[in-house]
């Protein structure tokens, strides 16, 4: 099969590196630095020797310069000899738009300094040009690049794809020698898929094969990411420099109170903020990571309210829904040391230079060890600094989760990255781009596409169905108005259609779905106008006055809306009337989930063996590298569950039958939300089909529950098999809100719905309306329509985790996991959070008309009763 090799890079001697450096570069380097960093010793020589390489190292370990050093050196040598050509030598692509500062530090300033050194020595150098081209670059700048070609071309995945459709730019790319992909670990999504195809297109254009240099934070499995970087062509090997373990970390789990269950929420709240304040005050600069944008605002408000003397101008928020200007300002003030603390959701995870940070607080579980390490790594930015991170826990499930993540961080167990494969919407957009570039032979195009790691096993059938869609064969429209390409079956050639093609492509490119949000604010009482958070517009459309919904873990009743604001009443006790499917929270990684399950089993065994409390607490403490008091809290939590009923674990799947206001069937399936989502929908669908009524589903990382009048779960468990999971799941999500929503995203990526047409921007609402309509039309035409197929794939493979869900079903089938049942009058301690959280979705089985008739009967009865 594939004979590609992924080779561990060796650490080279400093002398070797010194030898290859031009005297000017050498002088500059040692003027700036005392010695080479670990990542430079592993990486620089490979770039010099023109080998593909993936460099995995923590932020701040000098990996950007590692990638550039040999290239700068090469360009300086050419500049000295006056042999610099008018072409692009190096393309550097980063997912971040705000690169200017990093580029200044790693490129502009080194070059300036080298020129000064050269000037002093009377050495004449040709000018080495560096240009940034992103969506924000002005037209004037862009046209300048065509005349004075930048030798180093800095861009984003989207802008690179645009460049590849422009004939004049392609002419500059004909012999690119180096391609650097930064932050490649953050591209395990459709943006990354998109970029992987752009790289193959670049390779196809280029007369020589550029080497690929990938820069990554700690990631696993590293070979997979290397493969993602270089693609699947058999001739492409890749060196791997894994220097991630060279940065020391110091992490700990903290809780504001010793007893997380019997302390009232007011007390818990204030002691948690006391703890956070103390941590901040004991350090110079702190970054706090929360998982949601809404929580970011909340934390800032509470800190300011509780400690007005400590936090005034020295505190700031940084998250993706804030304006660019605001974010730049925060980053700038961080670098200048003007801020004591910054609270962020996920936006500061990536490698933007943020200056000196000596503490990272993880407020609530970061949900995966890779993410935990990435966040903690933001502190101690200099190479030899120790990264310091503190997990501050919110509740008892969070406590257990954070303790296991702490263990994984200390032991450097990284969870596996997920890279989507065979995304047909991204493929459609890229094929359209390729057709704008030139007329292709269809076989050549297929070959180029399959070189991408993400499409290495793309079937010809899927490829051709995308071609059919793009060339208007699905007859969605009269005279193929929507056809974007032509395909001549006889000559096997394909090309673009229409004069507008390039404009349509330029104005609709990209993979990040557009959403619009409604701000939720308190509508009355003393906290009137207090901003709670945001909800998705499409979710909001489902609400009517009186509905109860969950936001940020609290229940609110919707009162009324004005413009883009929804006014609500807080402190609601009633159960939610609106499912919370919209809240696509960070899911717990499957690997970390299984670690927790394993931990549960070990504790369970100790209880069953009648180990003493002391011994168990000691074990927990050593196992998770945590303090006595945290270990005690975990012990108490597990002991309660053990005494109450049974502890579920990786070999025991506990099903709890609890009768409260409704009938609950609770699965203690700690597999992470992605697996639970798939499992619960499959089982729920089977049950709902039997009883013919809708079934309520609640999902979190620790399990899921069903509620309804009749829940024939045993029958469902008998029916479910690894072999029929695909079919069941396809049917289960067929009518779901989530499929509709993801279909809209996919349709926009595949350019079925244009966000921009002839200068008119379409509102998200209009896009949505169109996509719902399209979806129902397509369902009539073909279930295998490629973009619908992609939406299903995205829901089942990216949003959910079909494969691991199947794995679990197989383990049940094979008897590796045993199912045990318990009946309770109160939810068991481990089930409490799940039941309290409310439901996530409703499996719709009942026919809309049947529902109408049922409602009709109920309403008429009610009216008659009144009379």
Partner 1 sequence: MERFDNINKKVIFLEDSLIIGNTLVIGDLHLGEKEILPKIYYNEIIEKFERIFNEIKLKKINLDKIVILGDLKHEFGEITNNEWRYVLDIIRYLGKKVKEIVIIKGNHDSLLMPILKKVEIGLKDYFFECGALFLHGDRLIDKKVISKSKIIFLGHLHPALSLSDEYKNEKFKCFLTGIWKNKIAYVLPSFSPVFPGYDLKNKDMHEDKDFFIIDRKFLLKFKVIIYDNKDNKEYNFGKLKELV
| Interaction site with partner 1 (CB under 8 A) | 476-478, 482, 542, 544-545, 547, 560-561, 577-579, 694, 696, 762, 766-767, 769-770, 773-774, 777, 839, 842, 844, 846, 848-849, 851-856, 858-860, 863
Strand, coil or helix: what is 132? strand
Q: How far is the CB of 661 from partner 1 (least distance, A)?
A: 10
The minimum distance between CB 687 and partner 1, in angstroms, equals 16
Virtual CA dihedral for 677, 682, 687, 690, nearest 10 degrees? Answer: 150
Instruction: List the structure tokens of 698.
Output: 């609640």
In the complex, what is the shortest distance from the CB of residue 764 to partner 1, in angstroms, rounded to a whole number?
12
Taking the least distance from each CB to partner 1, the nearer of 251 and 746 is: 746
Least gap, CB of 849 to partner 1 (angstroms): 5
Q: How far is the CB of 211 from partner 1 (least distance, A)?
A: 46
How far, in Å, CA of 42 to CA of 61, rounded?
Answer: 12
Helix H or strand E segment including 391: strand 387-392
Nearest approach in angstroms of CB 856 to partner 1 is 5
Question: 18, 100 in Cβ contact below 8 A?
Answer: no
Cis peptide bond upstream of 55, omega within 30: no
Helix, strand, coil abundance in the chain, percent, nearest 5 = 45, 15, 35
DSSP output for 89-115: -EEEE-S-S--HHHHIIIIIHHHHHHH
Pick 609 or 848: Cβ nearer partner 1: 848
Quick check: 339 and 330 in contact, CB under 8 A?
yes
Q: Judge whether 797 and 420 are in contact, CB under 8 Å.
A: yes
Which residue's CB is nearer to partner 1, number 246 or number 772? 772
Kindly state the tokens that stand for 540.
Answer: 């909001």
Measured CA to CA, the distance from residue 388 to residue 377 in angstroms comes to 8
Q: How far is the CB of 508 from partner 1 (least distance, A)?
A: 15
Distances (CA, A) of 331 to 341, 433, 691: 12, 35, 56
Contact 561, 518 (CB under 8 A): yes
Nearest CB to partner 1, comparing residues 449 and 520: 520
| C-alpha pair distances (Å), 724 with each of 629, 661, 682, 805 | 47, 34, 10, 12
DSSP structural state of residue 799: I
Tell me the C-alpha distance between 677 and 584, whole Å. 11
Supply the minimum distance, in Å, between the C-beta of residue 850 and partner 1: 9
Residue 242: helix, strand or coil by DSSP? strand
- The nearest distance, CB 681 to partner 1, in angstroms, is 16
> Could you tell me the smallest distance in angstroms from the CB atom of residue 785 to partner 1?
13
- CB within 8 Å of 74: residues ≥ 6 apart: 48, 89
Distance of closest approach, residue 552 Cβ to partner 1, in angstroms: 21
CA distances from 299 to 310, 342, 516, 782 (A): 14, 10, 24, 49
Q: Token match 């404009």: residue? A: 503
Distance CA 388, CA 380 (A): 7
CA distance 85 to 543: 62
What is d(CA 742, CA 790) in angstroms, rounded to the nearest whole number? 9
The count of other CB atoms within 10 Å of the CB of residue 134 is: 17
The nearest distance, CB 845 to partner 1, in angstroms, is 11
Rounded to a whole number of angstroms, the minimum distance from the CB of residue 855 to partner 1 is: 4
d(Cα 453, Cα 184) in Å, to the nearest integer? Answer: 13
CB nearer partner 1, residue 87 or residue 662: 662
To partner 1, the closest distance from the beta carbon of 775 in angstroms equals: 11
How buried is 401 (Cβ within 10 angstroms: 0-12 exposed, 13-18 middle, 19+ buried)? buried
Nearer to partner 1, 30 or 734 (CB): 734
Q: In whole angstroms, how close is the CB of 842 to partner 1 at the nearest point? A: 6
Give dist(CA 835, CA 495) in Å, integer. 55
> Which residues make Cβ contacts (< 8 Å) with residue 805, sequence separation at least 6?
671, 675, 678, 679, 682, 725
d(CA 681, CA 606): 34
The SS3 call for residue 823 is strand
CA–CA separation, 795 vs 739, rounded Å? 7
Q: Which is nearer to partner 1, 210 or 523 (CB)?
A: 523
Residue among 561 and 811 whose Cβ is closer to partner 1: 561
Complex with partner 1: residue 620 or 707, whichever CB lies closer = 707
Give the span between the Cα atoms of 433 and 198, in whole angstroms.
10
Distance CA 583, CA 671 (A): 19
**Which is closer to partner 1, CB of 544 or CB of 609?**
544
Nearer to partner 1, 515 or 694 (CB): 694
Nearest-approach distance from CB 737 to partner 1, in angstroms: 11
Q: Which is nearer to partner 1, 1 or 849 (CB)?
A: 849
Q: Which is nearer to partner 1, 120 or 758 (CB)?
A: 758
| E strand segments, 196-277 | 211-216, 238-242, 249-254
Strands 387-392 and 554-562: unpaired
- Nearer to partner 1 (CB atom), residue 330 or residue 774: 774
Beta strands in 712-817 (DSSP E): 756-757, 760-761
Q: How many CB atoms lie within 10 A of CB 739?
A: 22
Q: Would you say 442 or 695 has its CB closer to partner 1?
A: 695
- Measured from the CB atom, is 542 or 652 closer to partner 1? 542
Nearer to partner 1 (CB atom), residue 542 or residue 632? 542
Q: Which residue is listed with tokens 């650097």?
A: 180
- Smallest gap from residue 839 Cβ to partner 1 (A): 7
* Contact indicator for 738, 581 with CB cutoff of 8 Å: yes
Least CB distance to partner 1 at residue 660 (A): 14
Beta carbon nearer to partner 1, 573 or 848? 848
């Amino acid at each position: 099969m594939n004979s590609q090799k992924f080779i561990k890079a060796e650490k080279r001697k400093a002398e070797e590196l010194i030898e290859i450096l031009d005297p000017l570069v050498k002088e500059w380097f040692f003027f700036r630095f005392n010695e080479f960093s670990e990542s430079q010793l592993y990486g620089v020589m490979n770039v010099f020797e023109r080998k593909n390489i993936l460099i995995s190292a923590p932020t701040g370990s000098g990996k950007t310069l590692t990638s550039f050093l040999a290239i700068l050196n090469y360009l300086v040598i050419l500049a000295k000899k006056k042999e610099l050509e008018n072409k692009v030598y190096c393309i550097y692509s980063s997912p971040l738009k705000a690169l200017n500062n990093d580029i200044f530090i790693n490129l502009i300033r080194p070059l300036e300094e080298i020129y000064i050194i050269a000037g002093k020595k009377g050495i004449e150098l040709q000018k080495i040009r560096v240009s940034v081209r992103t969506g924000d670059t002005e037209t004037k700048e862009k046209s300048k690049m065509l005349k004075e070609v930048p030798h180093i071309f800095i861009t984003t995945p989207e802008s690179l794809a645009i460049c590849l459709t422009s004939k004049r730019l392609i002419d500059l790319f004909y012999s690119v020698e180096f391609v650097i992909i930064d932050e490649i670990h953050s591209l395990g999504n459709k943006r990354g898929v998109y970029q992987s195809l752009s790289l193959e297109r670049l390779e196809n254009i280029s007369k020589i094969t550029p080497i690929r240099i990938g820069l990554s934070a700690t990631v696993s499995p590293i070979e997979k990411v290397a493969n993602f970087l270089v693609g699947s062509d058999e001739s492409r090997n890749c060196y791997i420099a894994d220097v991630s373990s060279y940065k020391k970390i110091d992490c700990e789990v903290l809780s504001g109170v010793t007893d997380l269950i019997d302390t009232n929420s007011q007390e818990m709240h204030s002691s948690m903020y006391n703890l956070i304040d103390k941590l901040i005050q004991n350090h110079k600069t702190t970054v706090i990571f929360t998982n949601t944008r809404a929580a970011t605002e909340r934390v800032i408000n509470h800190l300011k309210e509780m400690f007005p003397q400590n936090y005034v101008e020295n505190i700031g928020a940084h998250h993706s829904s804030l304006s660019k200007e605001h974010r730049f300002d925060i980053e700038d003030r961080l670098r200048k040391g003007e801020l004591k603390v910054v609270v962020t959701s996920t936006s500061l995870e990536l490698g933007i230079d943020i200056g000196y940070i000596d503490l990272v607080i993880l407020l609530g579980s970061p949900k995966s060890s890779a993410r935990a390490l990435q966040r903690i790594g933001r502190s101690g930015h200099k190479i030899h600094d120790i990264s310091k991170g503190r997990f501050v826990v919110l509740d008892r499930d969070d406590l257990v989760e954070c303790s296991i993540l702490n263990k994984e961080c200390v032991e450097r167990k990284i969870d596996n990255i997920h890279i989507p494969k065979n995304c047909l919407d991204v493929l459609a957009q890229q094929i359209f781009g390729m057709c704008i570039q030139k007329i292709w032979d269809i076989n050549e195009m297929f070959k180029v596409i399959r070189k991408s790691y993400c499409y290495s096993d793309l079937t010809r059938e899927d490829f051709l169905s995308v071609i059919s869609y793009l060339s208007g064969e699905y007859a969605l429209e009269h005279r193929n108005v929507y056809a974007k390409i032509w395909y001549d079956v006889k000559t096997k050639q394909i090309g673009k259609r229409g004069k507008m093609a390039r404009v349509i492509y330029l104005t609709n490119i990209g993979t990040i779905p557009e959403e619009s949000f409604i701000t939720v604010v308190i509508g009355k009482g003393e906290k009137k106008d207090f901003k709670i958070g945001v909800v998705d517009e499409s979710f909001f459309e489902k609400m009517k006055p009186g509905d109860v919904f969950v936001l940020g873990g609290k229940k609110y009743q919707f009162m009324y809306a004005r413009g883009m604001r929804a006014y609500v009443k807080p402190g609601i006790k009633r159960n939610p009337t609106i499912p919370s499917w919209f809240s696509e929270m960070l899911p717990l990684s499957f690997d970390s989930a299984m670690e927790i399950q394993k931990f549960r089993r070990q504790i369970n065994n100790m209880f069953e063996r009648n180990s003493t409390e002391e011994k168990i607490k000691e074990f927990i403490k050593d196992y998770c590298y945590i303090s006595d008091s945290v270990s005690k809290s975990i012990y108490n939590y597990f002991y309660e569950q053990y005494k109450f009923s049974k502890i579920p674990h990786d070999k025991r799947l506990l099903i709890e039958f609890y009768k409260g206001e409704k009938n609950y069937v609770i699965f203690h399936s700690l597999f992470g939300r992605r697996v639970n989502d798939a499992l619960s929908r499959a089982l729920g669908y089977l049950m709902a089909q039997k009883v013919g009524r809708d079934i309520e589903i609640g999902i979190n990382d620790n399990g899921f529950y069903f509620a309804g009048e009749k829940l024939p779960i045993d029958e469902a468990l008998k029916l479910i098999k690894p072999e029929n999971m695909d079919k069941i799941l396809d049917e289960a999500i067929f009518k779901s809100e989530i499929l509709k929503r993801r279909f809209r995203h996919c349709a926009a990526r595949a350019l079925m719905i244009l966000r921009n047409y002839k200068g008119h921007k379409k509102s998200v609402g209009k896009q949505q309306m169109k996509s719902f309509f399209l979806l129902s039309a397509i369902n009539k035409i073909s279930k295998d329509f490629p973009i619908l197929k992609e939406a299903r794939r995205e829901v089942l493979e990216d949003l959910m985790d079909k494969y691991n869900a199947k794995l679990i079903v197989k383990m049940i089938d094979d008897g590796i996991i045993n199912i045990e049942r318990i009946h309770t009058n109160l939810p068991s301690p481990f089930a409490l959070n799940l039941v309290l959280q409310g439901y996530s979705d409703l499996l719709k089985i009942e026919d809309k008309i049947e529902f109408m008739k049922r409602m009709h009967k109920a309403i008429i009865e009610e009216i008659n009763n009144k009379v």
